[in-house]
Amino acid sequence: MTKLRLTIFSTTIIIVGLVGWLLFQFAKGYRVNDKLKLIPNGLLVIKSDPDGAQIFINGELKTATNSTIPLPPGTYDITLKKEGFLNWDKRLDIDAEIVTEYTAHLFKLAPSLSATTFNGAIDPLPSNDMTKIAYVVPNKPNEGDLNKEFAGLWVMEIVDLPLGFSRDPRRVTDGDLTEATFVWSEDDREILLTTKTGRYLLDTGKFTPQNQLTNVLGDVNEIELKWKKEKELKLNSQIKSLPDEMKDVIGRKARAIVFSPDEDMVLYTASASATLSDDLIKPVPGASTQKQDRDIKDNHTYIYDIKEDRNFLVDSNSSDLIVDNFLPSNAARRLTWFPTSRHLLLAEKDKITVMDYDSTNKKEVYKGSFLAPNAFPTLSTGRILILTNLGAEDTLPNIYSLTIK
């Protein structure tokens, strides 16, 4: 009886151990092939926003998104399709026993356009945190007193609020500001306005008529120096997360440095050539297998992935490319972060493109008339703002909301 119990116990331990080992190998991606051999696979995990897209691998329909798919090591062309949306395309390398995970954001085939301003808008400028946008409503003398209610500098909240709630644009000062310039403070609470008559510091939370504004011309150097120090302090804090060699590149050989919203990546334009060493950090399992470029060239724009130590070329001639909030009059294109922190928004003449951070999967979400490069992301992944007069050259442009998801 004792021997029988020992036999049963030993057999149970062996079976449990074997099942556990098999489950462990299954979790690592191993599968039994048609010859009953256990072979190593990689695991591809694909999600989509919105959900329910079809997954095609090398042109063959496999399943729907939010799935885990075992694949033998190799290179695969992955396509996601959903009715009414642009396809998502990516060429991926799958490695044995490695989980490769992607979340694909799908954009509408036919985006909808709706006006958010109605009295004209010029020189729109988003705040640093992408929650507000300031713009000038121009003076229209032929409209007399009616125009006085609208002419001036306005601020519009661009944060999506719950259904039933809305925030109307608010005017922060009045008057003819068609030749004025303005810039946001680093904390986005104030705007420094420059006109022919002086320089004025505006509280964006309230309305102050021009005849009550205080000219801060004598203090403007101190104000600008304070804002510059605040910006440098924030940037230096973000740069600390970079490997030492990348700190040197960003600190001495780059301009227009913009970190992603989650601060895991940095967008920058090189101001000198450099070569990044390989493996600045320990290689990360499941890291991107997309082609990178570690030979940095002057006037080229790149994305550096801090967590994976990958450097991707996104633009090879950045003379006319703006990658920050300042939009000089000669800017032809604007590149900025999308709120996902994994996509970029590129605005250029007659088209707006959303691309993955590694410069793949470029999708035109808008093709038509707008005043390039005035296209701005919002904190919502479902809409962007554009400045357009819809092709009517004799009509003042307005800010429109473009729903792309």
pLDDT digits (tens, 9 = 90+) for 299-343: 999 999 999 999 999 999 888 888 865 545 567 899 999 999 999
Q: What is the CA radius of gyration of the chain?
A: 27
Condensed to tens digits (0 to 9), the pLDDT of residues 205-251 reads 999 999 999 999 999 999 999 999 999 999 999 999 999 999 999 98
Computed from CA positions of residues 29, 32, 34, 39, in that sequence, does the dihedral angle turn out positive or negative? positive
Rounded to the nearest 10 degrees, what angle do helices 244-252 and 220-239 cross at? 150
Please work out, in degrees rounded to the nearest 5, the angle formed at the alpha carbon of residue 158 by the alpha carbons of 155 and 159.
130
Distance CA 106, CA 81 (A): 9
Distance CA 267, CA 314 (A): 9
- Residue span(s) of the chain under CATH 2.60.40 come to 2-105
**SS3 sequence of 342-384:** CEEEEEECCEEEEEECCCCCCEEEEECCCCCCCEEECCCCCEE
The per-residue pLDDT for 140 is 73
Contact at 8 Å (CB) between 184 and 128?
yes
Q: Which of 389 and 17 is assigned the larger pLDDT?
A: 389
The per-residue pLDDT for 164 is 42
pLDDT bucket at 356, cuts 50 / 70 / 90: very high
The per-residue pLDDT for 51 is 92
Would the pLDDT of 21 be above 50?
A: no
The per-residue pLDDT for 256 is 86
pLDDT bucket at 168, cuts 50 / 70 / 90: confident
pLDDT bucket at 143, cuts 50 / 70 / 90: low
DSSP structural state of residue 206: S
DSSP structural state of residue 85: B
Of the listed ranges 144-158, 183-197, 355-369, the least confidently predicted one is: 144-158
Place of tokens 């945190």: 129
The per-residue pLDDT for 38 is 53
Task: Considering only the C-alpha atoms of the chain, give the largest distance between any 2 of them, rounded to a whole number of Å.
Answer: 108
Domain boundaries 2-105, corresponding CATH code = 2.60.40
**Position 389, amino acid:** N
Condensed to tens digits (0 to 9), the pLDDT of residues 253-280 reads 998 899 999 999 999 999 999 999 999 9
Mean pLDDT value across residues 102-131: 92
Condensed to tens digits (0 to 9), the pLDDT of residues 186-218 reads 999 999 999 999 999 999 999 999 999 999 999
Task: Count how many Cα atoms sit within 13 Å of the Cα of residue 361 in the half-sphere of its side chain.
Answer: 26
Looking at every residue in the chain, the average pLDDT score rounds to 87
Report percent pLDDT > 90 for the chain: 69
pLDDT bucket at 10, cuts 50 / 70 / 90: low
Please name which of 168, 185, 170 lies closest in space to residue 137, comparing C-alpha atoms: 170
- Can you read off the two tokens belonging to residue 297? 């060239």
**SS3 sequence of 110-166:** CCEEEECCCCCCEEEEECCCCCEEEEEECCCHHHCHHHHCCCEEEEEECCCCCCCCC
pTM of the model as a whole: 0.85
Place of tokens 């509280």: 203
